[in-house]
Chain A
Amino acid sequence: MARESGAPTGQRALLEAIFTGRPAAGHDPRGLAVYRRNLLASAARALSISYPTVTCLLGRDRLGRLAGDFLQSAGRSVFDWGLWGEGFPVWLEEHSLCRQYPYLADSARLDWLMHCAQRAADARPDHASFANMEGLASLDFSLVAAPGCFVLESGFPVVAIHEAHRQDPARPDLGVAAAMLEAGRGQAALVWRQGPRTCLREARDEERIWLQLLNGGAATVAEALRRLPADSMPLEQWLDQAIREQLVIGLSHSSLT
């Protein structure tokens, strides 16, 4: 249905009335209220699934109110509630709550990475490619990362905060996180999927170059070695651990196939 004089009509007008909560001419306010309540409840449910740590930090009621505000600000331009809310961490960063809880936006970023890792395409370890590595003369191969693999650098102890809430959402032990916050210590969060299980741990400084390699920071192992900082973990040592953790699930080299 075409718009006239810039004012939305028909289906668009009904949608905008539901999103804004404003009355719509010709429509029963009771019916509009049903759809608006349903929209707000769905938005709150979607964010509580995608952002479990933020939900624990704020409580369901406050998250529900935030979901309504975020919906008002960001709208919903995706068909799937599971994909809605990607912009929530950036929106949170500007929210007054972040003055009270400065780690909130980064906690949300980590939640979203975990959510995305859980939905990433399955991939099994390619054991044959590791076996072939021993016969290689050069290091011109790259590492194949696990599904959902990503490093989030944060000035806050986001891994400790997340783990405390994951272990006991109702009564999290935030002692470790609080001590780290007090000391001004941040964490780099490493997220990946090990089969069906989404994994999280703190990335160590000495493995940073190898994680960058996994995240596309260098094309090949040889290239990463040329840029290797002095305090880095030796490749063999790190790779052995990364393969056991299924963080690296294969090697990619034209001669390996």
Chain B
Amino acid sequence: MQEPQGQDTRDAGVGVGLRHPHYRDALERQAPIQFVEVHAENFYMDGGPALSVLHAARERFDVSIHATSLGLGAETRVPEPEIRRLARLVEAIDPILVSDHACFSWSGQGAALLHGGDLLPIAHNPRVLEQFSANVDRVQQALGRQLLVENLSAYLSCPDSTMSELEFLHRMCQRTGAGLLLDVNNVFVNAVNSGGADPLADVQGVIAGIDGDLVGEIHLAGSTPQADGDLLIDDHGAEVPEPVWRAYEHLLAALGPKPTLIEWDTNLPSWSTLVGQARLVRQRMGAYRG
């Protein structure tokens, strides 16, 4: 597999997810952020106002494109037209980062295609690694650049797994030249839902095992608290919780600053609140720059 061109991470900037209700604020108000991240599928149209907003945002900020639908862990090849749609957007926007997830989302072909519209868990074993790596490689070849792959918050376990997600992702990166998008909240959610006595210690354990050179971006987010006995849902619908901040500080100490994004997708706050979360990232990053 060919070595892809690396992501242009420039300085380790701070970013926020850009969602429809914030378009005007993002384009008109000052904000101490270097980049915005958008979901690729929200801009797959041929033209129109949404795409114009993205081009305008590109004039103000660096842009990171985060795909959510390729389902790189599918048992068969990702359809070529879907890869081309991502490539067309990447070519038009020239983002600093491009990413998708360590998941599957769909099955079947043609009329039998069933797309779940979600990030579904995959087994971590050599067979899935083979297919996953082949899909990542095809995407990177089409984009002509590196892809970052994000670890998953998963609500089901796959009995066919023979290795940890982290080992799976490390091996995939070694095979393909892809990078990692480390979502700290996803690690935390999985730790909470696995029922361990000390989720933060579990997260720190995962961080300790990460090859920092592979990490191209960090995601931070919050989850809505659930009733006792229910699973914690990674709904990106709240401020970053204290344990995730502490895990992030641990990560900064271990790996140094990396481009970091505040993800907020549901129960959207005001633009000021969102930017306030980005400020907290910047403060913590500053403390570890030396």
Residues of A within 8 A of B (CB): 1, 10-12, 14-16, 18-19, 26-28, 30-32, 34-35, 38-39, 42-43, 75-84, 118-123, 147, 193, 196-197
Complex contacts, B120 vs chain A, CB 8 Å: 11, 14-15, 18, 35
Kindly provide the distance from the CB of B148 to the nearest chain A CB, expressed in whole angstroms.
19
Q: Could you tell me the distance between the alpha carbons of A27 and B108 in the complex, rounded to whole angstroms? A: 21
Contact A120 B47 (CB under 8 A): yes
Q: Could you tell me the distance between the alpha carbons of A122 and B117 in the complex, rounded to whole angstroms? A: 28
* Residue from the list B44, B104, B117, B233 in contact with A11, Cβ < 8 A: B104
Complex contacts, A27 vs chain B, CB 8 Å: 156
Residues of B within 8 A of A (CB): 41-42, 44-52, 69-70, 74-75, 79, 82, 85, 104-108, 111, 113-118, 120, 122, 154-157, 159, 230-231, 233
Complex contacts, A38 vs chain B, CB 8 Å: 118
* Residue from the list A15, A34, A123, A196 in contact with B116, Cβ < 8 A: A15
3 closest A-B pairs (Cβ-Cβ)? Answer: A119-B45, A122-B47, A31-B155
For the complex with contacts A19-B116, A123-B47, 10 further pairs of A-B residues with Cβ separation under 8 Å are A11-B120, A18-B116, A18-B118, A19-B114, A31-B154, A39-B117, A79-B69, A118-B50, A122-B48, A193-B48
Complex contacts, B159 vs chain A, CB 8 Å: 26
Contact A30 B117 (CB under 8 A): no
Contact A11 B111 (CB under 8 A): no
Q: Across the A-B interface, how many residue pairs have beta carbons closer than 8 Å? A: 110
Q: Could you tell me the distance between the alpha carbons of A76 and B50 in the complex, rounded to whole angstroms? A: 23
* Residue from the list B104, B107, B115, B154 in contact with A79, Cβ < 8 A: B115
Q: Could you tell me the distance between the alpha carbons of A82 and B157 in the complex, rounded to whole angstroms? A: 30
Kindly provide the distance from the CB of B221 to the nearest chain A CB, expressed in whole angstroms.
15
Kindly provide the distance from the CB of B194 to the nearest chain A CB, expressed in whole angstroms.
12
Q: A30-B230, A34-B231 in contact; A119/B47 too (CB < 8 A)?
A: yes
Complex contacts, B41 vs chain A, CB 8 Å: 79-82
Q: Could you tell me the distance between the alpha carbons of A120 and B154 in the complex, rounded to whole angstroms? A: 36
Contact B118 A39 (CB under 8 A): yes
Kindly provide the distance from the CB of A84 to the nearest chain B CB, expressed in whole angstroms.
8
Q: Could you tell me the distance between the alpha carbons of A197 and B52 in the complex, rounded to whole angstroms? A: 12
Contact B155 A30 (CB under 8 A): yes
Q: A30-B155, A119-B48 in contact; A76/B117 too (CB < 8 A)?
A: yes
The listed residue with most A CB atoms (<10 A of its CB), out of B42, B44, B115, B122, is B115
Contact A118 B114 (CB under 8 A): no
Q: A35-B116, A35-B118, A193-B48 in contact; A79/B155 too (CB < 8 A)?
A: no
Q: Could you tell me the distance between the alpha carbons of A197 and B49 in the complex, rounded to whole angstroms? A: 8
Kindly provide the distance from the CB of B79 to the nearest chain A CB, expressed in whole angstroms.
8
Q: List 9 A-B contacts (CB under 8 A).
A: A18-B116, A26-B159, A27-B156, A28-B155, A35-B118, A79-B70, A120-B48, A121-B47, A197-B49
* Residue from the list B46, B69, B118, B156 in contact with A121, Cβ < 8 A: B46
Kindly provide the distance from the CB of A76 to the nearest chain B CB, expressed in whole angstroms.
5
Complex contacts, A1 vs chain B, CB 8 Å: 75
Contact B48 A196 (CB under 8 A): yes
Complex contacts, B47 vs chain A, CB 8 Å: 119-123, 147
